[in-house]
Amino acid sequence: MSKAITPADFDVSPPLTVESLVNGGNGLIRYNGQVVFIPKVAVGDVVRFRITHSKKNYAEAQLVEIVLPSCDRREPLCPVADECGGCQWQHLPYHIQAQWKNSLFRDSLIRKCRVSENTILPIIVAPKEFGYRSRVQIKCYNTRDGFITGFYRPKSRYVVSVETCPLISSEMNHTLKALRQLISGSKHADHIPQIDLATDSDGKIAITVHYLGNDKSGLADRIKVLSNHSDVILQMGNKKQRDIIAGDGNLHIAIDNPELRLAYQAGSFAQINLDQNRRMVSIVKTLIPLTGNESVVDLYCGMGNFSLPLARKVKSVIGVEESSSSIKMACSNAKRLGVHNASFICDNAETAIDTIRQTSAVDILVLDPPRNGAYAIAKKIANSDINHIVYVSCDTQTLARDLECLVNNGYELVSSQPLDMFPQTYHCESINYLKKRETFGLSKK
């Protein structure tokens, strides 16, 4: 009989083979009758590991040695990929990453929601596996040897120094290098915990320097030298204390056909993969055969990423977003583009959906929630009179939880389209279309 793992067993394991990958990106090995999860491994790797945490049903381990590498492994492009928490799968060739995302996504929905495997479409891979990120949060730390920029080590606040990140563009990397040189050795370096970089469809770059010190004198002049190429923003303490030092602080994304250019404020939410976002908008627009008479509600609408393209094809759109800056940009975008059938509400999604349904018909509901999903919304609209739901998700586990609520309460999953928005990580975007089981047309009328 195999024994349970105890702290006394927290020594290096014998060589064992990684059996599979799991949600969250770790590899799975069975050891002494228990499942063990290990990061940064490939299926087929023969490894030795040390258990760091032992739970009731599983254990977590640290990779100690790759005794024999798998044929599914490659050398990461980034020299600190094994330390940095930004990427989990850079050691896997991209086609292997896509295969596992596709498989894990399908398995999660089939197992948890009991949907037909025929409803889940093959994953749409990204056109670029590197240099795709349009925005990034750089963590900073000042040392005796200079100003460090990088990303947190997994499950810690230790900043791993990253000279250049392969997930962002060469222009953003050049900007980051210039910022390090400008800030290093200054009196402000101890008080800058984070720098945000963002770029848009035009290649414009926005820099946001977070400053927590009491004396900002000279800092604006120091970083303003980058204003020839970038918008520069100084953020003190919180988002309400923003000084735009150079430029207007606005970026633009290009979507739809004919093209729409949507403005958003640097620091506000926008999808990080602009190429895949354009694909996603196109898919959402064509999921449902529209007549032009539909009323759409777009929850978590941001600057109008789905609302404004959909407004071209339906009677009316109401967008809901809790961020006042995003709603301001959505209204501005609609006015500038001459879209008169879209209105926007700054409110919590849970509150707004109740208010809207009391006064307006909702034919189609679009959801694009953050990673924690929209379970409260799913419960509210279960068995409702909303005929069509388009749920855009960036987290497979919260999606499966929310879809389970809907498919058990009056809705059928028509199609689920996984899409790789985040190469080199385990994260998977998806577009999911549900309709009421008794609904065959766009309206009950």
pLDDT string in tens for the chain (445-residue length) = 344 545 445 689 999 999 999 999 999 999 988 999 999 999 999 999 999 999 888 999 999 999 999 999 999 999 999 999 999 999 999 999 999 999 999 999 999 999 999 999 999 999 999 999 999 999 999 999 999 999 999 989 999 999 999 999 999 999 999 999 999 999 999 999 999 999 999 999 999 999 999 888 999 999 998 988 799 999 987 666 889 999 999 999 999 999 999 999 999 999 999 999 999 999 999 999 999 999 999 999 999 999 999 999 999 999 999 999 999 999 999 999 999 999 999 999 999 999 999 998 999 999 999 999 999 999 999 989 999 999 999 999 999 999 999 999 999 999 999 999 999 999 999 999 999 987 544 444 3
84 noted as active-site residue: no
Q: Decide: pTM greater than 0.85.
A: yes
Query: What pLDDT does 1 receive?
Result: 37
Query: What pLDDT does 101 receive?
Result: 98
Query: What pLDDT does 185 receive?
Result: 93
C-alpha distances out from residue 98 to 20, 49, 88, 166, 336, Å: 14, 26, 13, 18, 39
Distance CA 442, CA 445 (A): 9
Cβ contacts of residue 422 below 8 Å, gap of 6+? 272, 273, 428, 429
Distance CA 202, CA 205 (A): 9
Query: What pLDDT does 7 receive?
Result: 47
Residue 441, burial from CB neighbour count under 10 angstroms (0-12, 13-18, 19+): exposed
Query: What pLDDT does 442 receive?
Result: 46
Q: Which candidate in 78, 394, 405, 428 is catalytic?
A: 394
